[in-house]
Amino acid sequence: EYKGMSKERMMEIRRLNCNPMTMKVTSYKKPVFVHQGFMQWLWDVDGKRYLDLFAGVATVSVGHCHPKVTAAAEHQLRRLWHTTNIYIFPTLHEYCEKLASHLPDPLKVVYLTNSGSEANDLAMLMARLHTGNFDIITFRGSYHGGSLQTMGLTSNAAYKYPIANGLGCTNTMCPDVFGGPWGGSHCRDSPVQTIRDCGCAQDQCMAHDQYIGQLKETFATSVPSQIAAFFGEPIQGVGGAVQYPKNYLKEAYKLVRERGGVCIADEVQTGFGRTGTHFWGFQGHDVIPDMVTMAKGIGNGFPMGAVVTTPEIAASFAKGVHFNTFGGNPVACAVASSVLDTIKEDGTQQISLNVGTYLMMEMAKLRDKYEIIGDVRGKGLQIGVEMVKDKASRDPLPPESIAEIFEDIKDMGVLIGKGGVYGQTFHIKPPMCITMEDADFFLAVFNKAIHNYMERR
Ligand code: PMP
């Protein structure tokens, strides 16, 4: 039972003493005052239980306060909290070896940070030092961080400030087979097909060719002939679980490397088994990046991030001294190490695949039933549901309508996310411990919320 501060008092403190921007992410009319979490559940201060299908933007990987991970943190808190990387201590070494064993050759050198922005900042620096080039390309609609440098990688007006940020960053067209002009049914790797036909020939994907054409145009017009890097998420997260045509990333990597650049996979959302078919999202594209950046799920919500790269790139970076006071601290390493064990022991990647595929197939039935559900996409438990005015136009459902449905779902006891460039996409990225029963509960709630909205219209 909750006996702490009142809701009114918290709201007052929020107005006076807290970052006023953070509530914009949900903008619930009646906010959720969370108090406790366990596995896929959150409880508010009134004791109401919510099924958490957003997990702080795909951050809680194995479950809120997972007993094994909590025990690992407690154990480490009693032994050693803090020392930096300048001394040698076991948890860091155990973890770096364990994390590296989850990555293919030659990705073996691990740098630990405290967040995704820090990891991407570091990756930008390393790419520039290694290649001697400056320019970096990312997709429009992407989110890679909010620091001065990563704000340039990020391509979403909501997260941009009118200052000189991210010098040398160029955003290229996101190869979105639903929202973009090209692509359709068979272009992407998802259990659910899009509602429109792709018009591709048997073994030639028109969307792939068109979007690669756009990338080539970016190379020809917007950057020097030699570049430093290309950043891409295997499935675009904040941008709305956007999936690219099959083989797009493979071809893009080739073109980037021809221009002297390194390829960086941002696995902050897609890593650690979330896509179900693979441990890393990039494996679903049959590519091996030169650098992988990670955060969020790496620590199941404990602040942690990492860059994993090749020995060659690490050697180019070794000319200066890189220092991070808290990156790879003993507690974070103990937590992250336990997360890797737990993913294996609890079979969360398989859960992602089974429950995620089931959810998407059932959601596709709702898409076919309701005019305002335009697209259901993703892999595993990285799912996006694109809301439209109507299927023919594919215009985004307006923010007021999205907000109504979103609030209704929350009031019925389920927390999901919303994103996409126009705020038109619902996000389902739960802790990877959810069950088929949870999926059914959500499907009933979602159906009801859409039904209610259609009745009110
Ligand atoms: N990359 C991706 C794909 C993300 O989704 C985010 C956060 N939403 C980040 C990087 C930045 O991570 P952080 O908030 O830990 O800095």
d(CA 82, CA 79): 10
Cα(420) to centroid of ligand 1, in Å?
14
Q: Is 266 in the pocket of ligand 1 (CB under 6 A)?
A: yes
Q: What is the CATH number of the domain that holds 219?
A: 3.40.640.10
Q: Is 238 in the pocket of ligand 1 (CB under 6 A)?
A: yes
Tell me which of 57, 138, 143 to substitute to probe ligand 1's pocket, judged by most ligand atoms within 8 Å of the beta carbon.
143
Cα(264) to centroid of ligand 1, in Å?
14
d(CA 403, CA 174): 25
Which residue's alpha carbon is at the smallest distance from atom 1 of ligand 1? Answer: 144
Same domain, 341 and 352: no
Which atom of ligand 1 lies closest to the CA of 120?
10
Tokens of 317: 């970076």
Specify if 60 maps to a domain: no
Cα(178) to centroid of ligand 1, in Å?
24
Specify if 251 maps to a domain: yes
| Residue-level pLDDT at 23 | 64
Q: Is 52 in the pocket of ligand 1 (CB under 6 A)?
A: no
| Residue-level pLDDT at 389 | 97
Cα(142) to centroid of ligand 1, in Å?
10
| Residue-level pLDDT at 68 | 98
The per-residue pLDDT string of the chain (457 residues; one tens digit each, 9 = 90 and over) reads: 889 999 999 989 988 898 877 666 668 999 999 999 999 999 999 999 999 999 989 999 999 999 999 999 999 999 999 988 888 999 999 999 999 999 999 999 999 999 999 999 999 999 999 999 999 999 999 999 999 999 999 999 999 999 988 899 999 999 999 999 999 888 999 999 999 888 888 778 999 999 999 999 999 999 999 999 999 999 999 999 999 999 999 999 999 999 999 999 999 999 999 999 999 999 999 999 999 999 999 999 999 999 999 999 999 999 888 999 999 999 999 999 999 999 999 999 999 999 999 999 999 999 999 999 999 999 999 999 999 999 999 999 999 999 999 999 999 999 999 999 999 999 999 999 999 999 999 999 999 999 999 999 8
Q: Is 57 in the pocket of ligand 1 (CB under 6 A)?
A: yes
β-bridge mates for residue 306, sequence order:
112, 294
- Do residues 170 and 222 lie in contact, with contact meaning Cβ atoms separated by under 8 Å? yes
Tokens of 440: 């059914």
Q: What is the value of pTM for the model shown? A: 0.97
Bridge-based pairing state of the strands 414-415 and 49-52: parallel
Cα(122) to centroid of ligand 1, in Å?
13
Same domain, 203 and 329: yes
Number of domains in the chain: 2
* 3-class secondary structure per residue, 131-146: HCCCCEEEECCCCCCC
- Do residues 303 and 332 lie in contact, with contact meaning Cβ atoms separated by under 8 Å? yes
d(CA 148, CA 126): 16
Same domain, 199 and 261: yes
Enter the ipTM. 0.99
Q: Which residues are CB-neighbours of 97 under 8 A, at least 6 positions away?
A: none
Same domain, 226 and 363: no
Which atom of ligand 1 lies closest to the CA of 145?
11
Cα(145) to centroid of ligand 1, in Å?
5
Tokens of 67: 């007993």
Tell me which of 236, 269, 293, 304 to substitute to probe ligand 1's pocket, judged by most ligand atoms within 8 Å of the beta carbon.
269
Specify if 1 maps to a domain: no
Q: Is the peptide bond before 430 cis (omega within 30 degrees of 0)?
A: no
d(CA 180, CA 243): 11
Q: How many CB atoms lie within 10 A of CB 56?
A: 17
Same domain, 26 and 154: no
Same domain, 292 and 355: no
Q: Is 145 in the pocket of ligand 1 (CB under 6 A)?
A: yes
Find the radius of gyration of the CA atoms of the chain: 22
| Residue-level pLDDT at 242 | 97
Q: Which residues are CB-neighbours of 202 under 8 A, at least 6 positions away?
A: none
Which atom of ligand 1 lies closest to the CA of 233?
3
Same domain, 309 and 236: yes
Cα(265) to centroid of ligand 1, in Å?
13
Domain boundary among 317, 345, 373: 345
d(CA 66, CA 432): 11
| Residue-level pLDDT at 319 | 87
Same domain, 334 and 403: no
Q: Is 306 in the pocket of ligand 1 (CB under 6 A)?
A: no
| Residue 379, domain extent | 7-53+348-456
Which amino acid would we find at residue 138? T
Domain boundary among 345, 361, 393: 345
| Residue-level pLDDT at 165 | 83
Q: Is 267 in the pocket of ligand 1 (CB under 6 A)?
A: no
**Backbone phi, psi, residue 327, to 5°:** -60, 120
Specify if 59 maps to a domain: no
Domain boundary among 345, 360, 378: 345
Cα(59) to centroid of ligand 1, in Å?
10
